[in-house]
Amino acid sequence: MTATSSAFWDDLAEDLRDPEFLRAYIVESIRLATVDSVINALDDAREAAGLSKAALARAIGANPDAIRRLFTNGSTNPTVRTVAEIAAALGMRLTLEPLPAAEREQITDPLVQGEHADTAALARHLQAMRRQRTQPKPRRRTIARAA
C-alpha cells in the first residue's frame, strides 16, 4: 500500500467518525454494490437467453438506447420498476434476502446507530464488498468509487 493510498484510508476512517458521513457512505456503498450486482445478473440472463439489448428493449417497451446505457454505463441508477420489467422479460423476479449476521454488524448496526467502533475496519469491509460484487469482464458495469 502506498503512502497516498494509506493516507486516503486513514482520512476515510477519520471521516467515518462523523455519523452523517458514515450513514451516507454506507448507503452509497450498498447502493452501488447492489445496483451493480443486479444489473450484471440481468445482463448475464439476457446473454443466456440470447436476447440483444434492442430485443430486450422492445420486449418491455423501452428505448433501446436506455437499455444499452443501463448495461454498459456504471453510473446509471435504474428504477425498481425498470429492473422488475427487465427481470420479468428474462423470466426472473426481484426478491429480498436478509443480510447475514456479520454483514448486519458491519452495515445495519452502524447505519442505524451512526457509529462504528472501528471505522477503518468498516471502510475495508465496504470496499471488499464492492469489489466482490464487480464482475471481471471489461465490458461489465464497474462500481464507481464513493469517496
| pLDDT 10s digits, 39-82 | 999 999 999 999 999 999 999 999 999 999 999 876 678 999 99
The Cα diameter of the chain in Å comes to 51
Residue 143 DSSP one-character state: P
Whether the model pTM is above 0.75:
yes
Task: Please identify, in words, the CATH class of the domain defined by 3-133.
Answer: mainly alpha
Residue 95 identity: T
- Dihedral, 79, 85, 91, 95 alpha carbons, nearest 10: 40
Query: CA–CA separation, 77 vs 35, rounded Å?
Result: 7
Q: What is the pLDDT of residue 1?
A: 54
CB distance 20 to 113 below 8 Å: no
